[in-house]
Amino acid sequence: MAYQNPNTAAVASLGQTAAPARQFERASAYLNLYVPVTNDDGSTSRRKIGAIALKNSRKMDRNLIELLSEPSNVEKLQAKIELDFNVVEDSDGEITFAL
């Protein structure tokens, strides 16, 4: 007999189907992040380096989606957006707890 997860086995024995383990909300919109690059032939283009998912369930996201639905507001946001860059340094040293 093959191994069965105890929760799955109990549900299956009752003739019911198992519910999904997790429910998640899909993004309603994305803010994509690009950097300009110079190609081998000297031309320029842009490369996508990331995306920020915006969801209607979050008030600020919902407001951004509504605001950015107007193309002129995208340009206004581009002019005002701030970027921050932080390097994460690995520490392979010994950890001492201050107890």
Q: Which two tokens stand for residue 1?
A: 């007999």
Looking at residue 58, its pLDDT comes to 96
Domain-located, residue 92: no
Task: Count how many domains the chain has.
Answer: 1
* Site of tokens 């951004």: 64
Looking at residue 81, its pLDDT comes to 93
| Cα distances (angstroms) measured from residue 10 to each of 2, 13, 20, 22, 45 | 15, 5, 15, 19, 56
User: Which residue range(s) make up the domain with 43?
Assistant: 24-80
Looking at residue 15, its pLDDT comes to 60
Q: Cβ of 31: how many Cβ atoms within 10 Å? A: 16
Looking at residue 13, its pLDDT comes to 54
> Cα–Cα distance between 31 and 64 in angstroms, integer?
10
SS3 72: helix
Looking at residue 95, its pLDDT comes to 73
Instruction: Return averaged pLDDT per consecutive 10 residues of the chain, 99 residues in all.
Output: 57 58 87 95 95 96 97 95 88 76
Domain-located, residue 38: yes
Domain-located, residue 30: yes
